[in-house]
């Protein structure tokens, strides 16, 4: 589904974490089964909301609706082992990492609407 150069649009508000350690938390990504995690490089506004959260340890970041990203890399950890190459966290078998950068100009999907 994802490949380098593909556009990804986050249509609604998106909650994420600035802490790679959250990946191994079973309440989030965990370490078993087929899973996909996203590493977003954000160039525009993102809101750090941990001081308002009931769970500040999560280091929650909120992204605005209609953020456009371009996929830069897809890493299947079944092939490369279980340690995420970008952040050094053990994600367990079956994890796929999609690394994407925010597109300041808007992606093709948004230009068509």
User: What's the pLDDT at 34?
Assistant: 82
The total domain count for the chain is 1
CATH of the domain at 101: 3.90.176.10
Per residue in 50-75, pLDDT tens? 899 998 988 999 999 999 999 999 98
Across the chain, the runs of DSSP E, i.e. the strands, are: 7-10, 14-17, 35-41, 46-48, 60-63, 67-76, 95-102
Question: Does some domain include residue 112?
Answer: no
Residue 52 lies in a domain: yes
Mean pLDDT (the chain) is: 80
| pLDDT band at residue 24 using 50, 70 and 90 as cut-offs | confident
Question: Residue 112: in which H helix or E strand, if any?
Answer: helix 108-112
2 part of a folded domain = no
């Amino acid at each position: 589904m994802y490949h380098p150069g593909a556009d990804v649009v986050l249509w609604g508000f998106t909650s994420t974490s600035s802490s790679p350690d959250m990946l191994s938390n079973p309440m989030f990504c965990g370490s078993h089964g087929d899973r996909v995690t996203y590493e977003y490089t954000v160039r525009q506004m993102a809101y750090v909301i941990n001081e308002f959260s009931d769970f500040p340890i999560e280091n929650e970041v909120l992204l605005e609706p209609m953020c456009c990203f371009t996929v830069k890399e897809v890493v299947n950890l079944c092939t490369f082992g279980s340690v995420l190459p970008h952040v050094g966290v053990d994600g367990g078998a079956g994890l796929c990492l999609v690394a994407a950068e925010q597109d300041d100009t808007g992606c093709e999907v948004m230009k068509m609407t």
